[in-house]
Structure 1
Amino acid sequence: MSIVKKFITVGGATLGSRVMGFARETLMAAALGTGPMADAFYAAFRFPNLFRRLFAEGAFNAAFVPLFAKEIEGGGKEAAKRFSEEVFGVLFTVLLLITIVMELAMPLIVRTIIAPGFEVGSEKYDVTVKLAIVMFPYLMCMSLTAMLSGMLNSLHHYFAAAIAPIFLNIMMIGALGYGLWTGADPLTTAWYLSWGVLGAGLLQMGVLYAGVLHAGMSIRFRRPRMTENVKRLLVLAVPAAVTGGITQINQIIGQMIASTKEGAISALQYADRIYQLPLGVVGIAVGVVLLPELARALRGGHLREASNLQNRSMEFVLFLTLPAAAAIWVLSDEIIRVVYERGAFNPGMTATVASILAIYGLGLPGFVMIKALNPGFFAREDTKTPMRFTMASVAVNCALAVSLFPFFAERGIATAEVVSGWLTTVLLFATLVRRGHFEVERALVWRLVRLVIAAGIMAAVLEYASIYTAPYIRPESGLLEQVGAVFALIGLAMIVYFGVAFAIGGASLGMIRRNIKRGAAPAAKSEDAP
């Protein structure tokens, strides 16, 4: 299967999850709006999500996958199974200890890290503490799920791992639907959601374990021991955890600052959900697929193939991300109105969230390129360099967020995240090129220039066309009218972008056909291959 077909497999499954995420957030906006219970729930949910990105997805995508793949090549599935069991024993024990400590320290954590702006003793503070206690074990479930996902990806079983997040949306939609159906108040609905999150974690872990069994492997618990393999994993995983969680780190910093303003946390979350759609479908798909493929090519000494994989990945992500970024910038107000503006979500909230979303749109290509560039380091078992760049990015984010928040409120926090994301992208790209690990093709550069022009023309057409669709997207218009108008704009955008891109040489049928038929150049060992 070609690299692009694998991207489509993972991206398609992720798209299904993100679409259900939209449905979830629409129900959330209707049930909670941007009120205190929405702030409390999102603040409590952000914390286990942060640790999930730090200790699970980031660490295992960067460290576990190359080592697991190496075990398969060196000793077959039996060696890989033994390595997985060693890691599982240590991971389970560490996660259990972390969960116990965090549960006991949750009041202190909420008032110092999660939401220092919440007044201690207030209902919002107390509810946040209780919801966080219920949801924190989700970290343990998702960390083990991430390990199982890494195994499946290394065994080239991508679909099960990609579709697992859909169960979180199913459980949360069920909780929200039940709350709306019974007329539950926001506090009760927040409780339903919290227990739904915990149930989803258990369900996802079960689904992924079944996937591993189906792939021909099983895992049993081993007494935790610091073997050489586990030590090597930890050496790679600690810096990779920081790198993989950069978005969540920046968001938790933004949340700490935003907690001083009523409704700011939930406003940022609603905008984040929209831009996570293209980021998840394109960026995560590329990151998940590219790492094991790149690691395999490098271990075999096929440097030309590795270079081709990186160029095709960059071409693919920007071909799809540039128009998405332009459309988000131009249509942010229309998107937020159609997706959220009903129930407790009023027009004033629409204006606030739309302004945040427009800023996130400017950062989307950078965020996606980070997902495509990090595997260039991780596949070479270099996790420290991206970590250093991440730390610099976090420092910039902190300084900008604190400086801009008093003047621009939530928009200042979004701006800080976007600037720090682009800084990371530039540092990663420049370092790979300087080291000779990313040989940029001249044809790729010219193609990307043409894609930028096509996206710019598309944005101008959308700006003009939105004047004519405005009467159909007003608050007093029906939902079907609003949805129809937005989809008409999206359809027009696709026609213009792809039409211009093909006309001026930004894309061609030959390019698409070539990428679908083969994901990499024929393997050729470089003269300086190890």
Structure 2
Amino acid sequence: MSQNQKQKTGRSLAGIAGIVAIATLISKLFGLIRQQAIAAAFGVGVVADAYNYAYAIPGFFLILLGGINGPFHSAIVSVLAKKPKSEAAPLVETVTTLVGGILLVLTAVLILLAGPFMDLIYPDLSPQVKSLAIQQLQIMAPMALLAGLIGVGFGTLNAADMYWLPSVSPLFSSITVIIGLGILALQLGKQVTTPEYAILGAQVLAWGTLSGAILQWLVQVIAQWRAGMGTLRLRFDLSRPGVKEVMQVMGPATLSSGMLQINLQTALFFASAIPSAAAALNYTVLLVQTPLGIISNMILVPFLPVFSKLAAPENWSDLKIRIRQGMILTAISMLPLSAIMVTLAFPIVRLVYERHAFNREASQLVASVLIASSSGMFFYLGRDVLVRVFYALGDGETPFRISIINIFLNAILDYLFVGIGPFGAPGLALATVVVNFTSMVALLWLLDRKLKGLNWQEWVIPILGLVASSVEAGGISWVVTQIYQQFLPTKTLFSQLCQLGLAAGAGLAVFFVLTSWLNIPEFEMFTAKIRQKFVK
């Protein structure tokens, strides 16, 4: 490959990553607005709580099967990339027919057995929450079918070099829920405490979510059709070349990806005994996952092909350098953000959610969960970086085994922290942080053995220095917040935004100054990337 070709490929990959990042940001912005609308309408009350329990089951499939980089998406892309375009449509139609048939049966089971499922998975729900959740689950059950179809559509469109629509399409679910809540507000106004409002509100959330999933699938089908990558035709040609290959990739990948979702279900099992815990966890997830998702794209997307190219034993010395770079960049981005979010959790929650039904008490509950959850952001992303290294080395078995162990560890910690412990809802988030920490340490230890040493002395001092700088950043943010609250009111949205901006800005400024004195090469890379993005 010539140098010009390499540069062209690099620019192409960078362009794709940019498209995905922008589309994902837009989608997450609408997701934030959706969460704000739900918070304003229902706070952390029974409707929001019931919705989160009901959504957990179909949402499990939507995230697992229908997400970008999910097993269906990855299987379709990996197989179609090796096939001529003329073979794409029959292959996609056959896989869609097979997957659709299996998930259609599952959808029927969810509708018919919604009540027993709720009793089995969430045994300690209050009668009112359980009743609403069963109704919502029956409405949203078809999302299990749609999840598989959306996942296949993601992969098909990406294989056809179409990235914008799949990445931005999740916003349809947010839009339909927002519209539904707007109509509900116009009809019922402030009658938020009546039983009729609770029942109708629960139905609006469920039907809005289902409508969004249908729209997401339909726009993909239309784009797929126009690209010549398959229609709604039913095909039962299971002997067609490529079908078996797709299913062989889908099976293990689905099982492996499902480990994280099983941990979520475990947390909700224990949350069912705590009023408003599910709603608090859901509001927190968006606040943590939004920066994590954006920053993980910035780190993982460029490093993945690099890890793969250096997987041969003769390149391991360079691979170790790249692993260190990935982990140090993760620390540079995650540690200060984590420290600032811990110290500013309450102002962040107030700014984003506190209005109408979402009151001060709700802010305190969600802020306590946010403190626990955001404390482990470095462990979450660091683990993801190391998992990708194992994949690049052709070893998917090790991360899978650790994921299985984590399921049992997570259940034990949930029981210790929440079942018999005093932590309540924050304990569920804390258990996840501990699991991610142990996963990262285990992966590092196994990678050290696999690569015959990772030169730990080159890691310890920089990371300890970054930890110290982050603690200072968090401390400064807290001091600025206290001074601001002492002299200025924080009742208006603008005042809260100013408080948060000043405190977070001061913390980040201190972190950058202190870290610049540490002479960490990766910090120079990080700041160079920022200058490259914003200084033309």
Shared fold per TM-score greater than 0.5: yes
Are 2:81 and 1:72 equivalent residues in the alignment? yes
- Which stretch of structure 1 is more off in the superposition, 142-151 or 126-135? 142-151
The alpha-carbon deviation at position 241 of structure 1 amounts to 2.3
2:70 to 31, 47, 61: 61
Matched, 1:416 2:416: no
1:228 to 1:370, Cα distance in 2 relative to 1, 3 A: farther
Instruction: Say if 1:172 and 1:496 are closer, same or farther in 2 by CA, change over 3 A.
Output: farther
Correspondence for 2:61 among 43, 51, 71: 51
What percentage of aligned pairs have identical amino acids? 24
Deviation at 1:268, TM superposition (A): 1.7
Say whether residues 1:387 and 2:400 are aligned partners.
yes
- By how many angstroms is 1:196 displaced? 0.9
State the shift of 1:143 in Å.
Answer: 2.3
1:117 maps to 2:115: no
Q: Which residue of 2 aligns with 1:174?
A: 179
Residue 33 of structure 2 is matched in structure 1 by 23
1:132 paired with 2:137, answer yes
Q: Does 2:268 align with 1:258?
A: no
Aligned to 1:237: 250
Aligned to 2:206: 194
Cα distance in 2 for residues equivalent to 1:429 and 1:5: 32
- Contact 1:310–1:438 (8 Å) recurs in 2: no
Give the equivalent residue in structure 2 for 1:279.
Answer: 292
CA distance in 2: counterparts of 1:212 and 1:287, whole angstroms? 28
Give how far 1:437 is off.
Answer: 11
Contact 2:61 / 2:143 at 8 angstroms: preserved in 1?
Answer: no
Q: Which of 297-306 and 263-272 deviates more?
A: 297-306
CA–CA distance in structure 2, aligned partners of residues 294 and 146 of structure 1: 26
Aligned to 1:364: 377
Residue 8 of structure 1 and its aligned partner are, at CA, apart by 4.4
**Is this contact kept in 2: 1:50–1:248, CA < 8 A?**
yes
Alignment of 1:62-461 (within 5 A): 62=71, 65=74, 68-69=77-78, 71-73=80-82, 75-79=83-87, 81-113=89-121, 115-119=122-126, 122-154=127-159, 157-183=162-188, 185-212=197-224, 217-218=229-230, 221-223=234-236, 225=238, 229-283=242-296, 293=305, 297=309, 313-378=326-391, 382-405=395-418, 406=420, 407-436=422-451, 448-461=463-476
Task: Calculate the TM-score normalised by the size of structure 1.
Answer: 0.84
Residues 481-496 of structure 1 mapped to structure 2, 5 A cutoff: 481-496=495-510
Distance of 1:380 and 1:516 partners within structure 2: 33
Change (3 A) 1:140 1:307: farther
Change (3 A) 1:468 1:133: same
Structure with the larger RCO, 1 or 2 (CA within 8 Å, 6+ apart): 1
CA distance in 1, matches of 2:72, 2:322: 20
CA distance in structure 1 between the partners assigned to 2:159 and 2:455 by the alignment: 27
Q: What amino acid is aligned across from residue 395 of structure 1 in structure 2?
A: F
Aligned-partner Cα distance in 1 for 2:525–2:297: 26
Q: Shift in Å at residue 393 of structure 1? A: 0.6
SS at match of 2:54: helix
Counterpart residue identity of residue 478, structure 1? T
Give the secondary-structure state (helix, strand or coil) at the position aligned to 2:125.
coil
Question: Which amino acid in the other structure matches residue 105 of structure 2?
Answer: L
Following TM superposition, by how much is the alpha carbon of 1:487 offset from its aligned partner in structure 2, in angstroms? 2.0
Determine if contact 1:294/1:375 at 8 Å carries over to the other structure.
Answer: no
> What is the distance in 1 between the residues matched to 2:239 and 2:299?
32
Alpha-carbon distance, 1:446 to partner: 6.3
Give the count of matched residue pairs. Answer: 510
- Residues in 2 aligned to 1:98 and 1:382: alpha-carbon distance in whole angstroms: 32
Letter in 2 for 1:139: A
Q: Is the 8 A contact 2:27 2:171 kept in 1?
A: yes
Amino acid across the alignment from 1:196 = G
**Separation in structure 1 between the aligned mates of residue 172 and residue 27 of structure 2, nearest angstrom:** 8
How far does the alpha carbon of each residue in 1:32-78 deviate from its partner, in whole angstroms, 9 at most, with x for none? 111111111111011111123344449x63575367335524x4334
Equivalence for 2:44: 34
Which residue of the partner structure matches residue 470 of structure 1? 485
Which range moved further: 9-18 or 162-171?
A: 9-18
- Of residues 227-236 and 459-468 in structure 1, the stretch that sits farther from structure 2 once superposed is 227-236
Separation in 1 of the partners of 2:157 and 2:381? 23
Task: Indicate how the Cα distance of structure 1 residues 193 and 454 shifts in structure 2: closer, same or farther if over 3 A, else same.
Answer: same
Aligned-residue offset at 1:19? 2.5
Return closer, same or farther for 1:91/1:311 CA change in 2, 3 Å cut-off: farther
1:434 partner letter: R
Deviations 1:331-365 (A, max 9, x none): 11111122222222222222221111111011212
**Superposed CA RMSD:** 3.6
CA contact (8 A) 2:79 2:246 kept: no
Is contact 2:72-2:152 (8 Å) kept?
A: no
Q: Which amino acid aligns with 2:495?
A: E
SS at match of 1:408: coil
Assess if the C-alpha contact under 8 Å between 2:77 and 2:158 holds in 1: no
Offset of residue 178 of structure 1 = 2.2
Distance 1:42 1:166, change over 3 A: same
1:312: Cα distance to partner?
5.7
Structure 2: gaps (5+ residues): 1-9, 190-196
